[in-house]
Amino acid sequence: MPNHPRQLFIFTDGEVKNTKEVLDLVKHHAHSHRCFSFGIGEGASTALITGMAREGSGHAQFITGTDRMQAKVMQSLRFALQPAVVNISVDWTLPDGITVDALSPPINVLFPGQRSLIYAQLKGESSGGSEGTVTVKYSLKDQPVTNQLHFCLKPTEETGLAVHYLAARTLIRSLEQQERLSGSDLFGIRKSIMDKMICFRNRIMKLSVQAGVSSVYTAFIAINKESRQIVKGPLLQRRVPAYWSLRIPNRPSLRGGGPGSDCESEEEHCRGSAGKSRVKSTSRLGKRRWSHKLDLLLQLVSLQKASGCWDLDATLADVFWEDGG
């Protein structure tokens, strides 16, 4: 019915041989329905699950291991019952001589509580303006919305490479997905399909090596600098302590005094051998307690999920129990 799109929930637990045909069918009917896909188990096709959600302006979920299906289905159901951001477009306004290449795949839909990152590469050199503008347009509840962001084209002195790595990773994942879609229908292999897959593979490997970001065709190896030989052996986990430069209020200095320390105000503790012994003992105790606090903090950080939240389970409760003790 018009203005009442169909909400389609699809569950699959295995490989599908005609992925491209399925995605084309979903895209053809995208004006009348939204597709929410669920991949059950390790054998579900990633290209199929994510592709149906992308072409059908829905949401993809993967249910593996001990995941509970009910929670993920309810999340998708909440998305289906609420208005979503659609008709998303990104436009760039740049000075003459500057071009832009989009590294992220286009965004079809965003549901309440979701966010998305867009990576793009600016090329060239401008002899005129030093500012660019990116305009994001979308529709929410049939109302058009426009947001603009102005940014400076001059790089800072210390930008680092973190964003470059993330952008390269996004482009690699996009190329990997395109390769899977190109090779999804291998019944009666055609030369054009194989040539396209080889082209994708070469681009992925070249970008992975240049950016230092792993892919399905590359991996990191360790090389001994002295012997120039590859280090072989099983992977081992090593816990590297973090050294923070923090001052603990209301505690003696770890160096046993000095301007501004607690020992300076307590003259009876800083004078004589007995006073020095007491200061040293208190400092060691404070150092051990602070080391314990750091261990608990690292445990808390390791339990945090990528979305920024924590699972309310026994492991998290143990961390707070030890902290309170």
Which DSSP string corresponds to 225-289? TTT--B--S------PPP----PPTTS--TTS--TTSHHHH-HHHHSHHHHHHHHHHHHHHHHHH
What are the pLDDT digits (tens) for 94-139? 988 889 998 888 888 899 888 888 999 888 887 777 889 999 999 9
Kindly list the strands in the beta sheet with 60-63, ordered across the sheet, starting from the edge strand earlier in the chain: 6-12, 33-40, 60-63
pLDDT band at 257 (very low <50, low <70, confident <90, very high): very low
Region 41-50: mean pLDDT is 87
Measured CA to CA, the distance from residue 235 to residue 255 in angstroms comes to 39
- Burial of 72-98, coded b for 16+ CB within 10 Å and e otherwise, reads ebeebeebbeeebbeebebeeebeeeb
What's the pLDDT band for 30 if we cut at 50, 70, 90?
confident
pLDDT reported for residue 269: 39
Q: Which of 226, 203, 232, 227 is nearest to 216 (CA)?
A: 203
To which residue do tokens 């490479």 refer?
Answer: 161
Q: Answer with the residue of higher pLDDT: 37 or 195.
A: 37
DSSP 160: -
Q: Which amino acid is at 319?
A: V
Report which listed range, 53-62, 261-270, 306-315, is most confident: 53-62
Structure tokens at 62: 């993967």
How far apart, in whole angstroms, are the C-alpha atoms of residue 297 and residue 215?
Answer: 32
CA-to-CA separations, 43 to 50, 65, 86, 309, in angstroms, rounded: 14, 12, 31, 28
Q: Which pLDDT band holds residue 59 (cuts at 50, 70, 90)?
A: very high
List all residues 6 or more positions away from 199 whose beta carbon is below 8 Å from its beta carbon.
none
pLDDT band at 289 (very low <50, low <70, confident <90, very high): low
- pLDDT tens-digit profile of 191-246? 566 677 788 888 899 999 988 888 888 888 888 888 888 888 777 777 776 554 44
> Which whole number is the average pLDDT over 174-194?
66
d(CA 61, CA 69): 9
Residue 57: both structure tokens together: 């302006």
Strand-pair partners of 150 = 133
Distance (Å, rounded) from C-alpha 33 to C-alpha 246? 56
Q: What is the mean pLDDT of residues 174-183?
A: 77
Looking at residue 271, what is its pLDDT?
Answer: 41
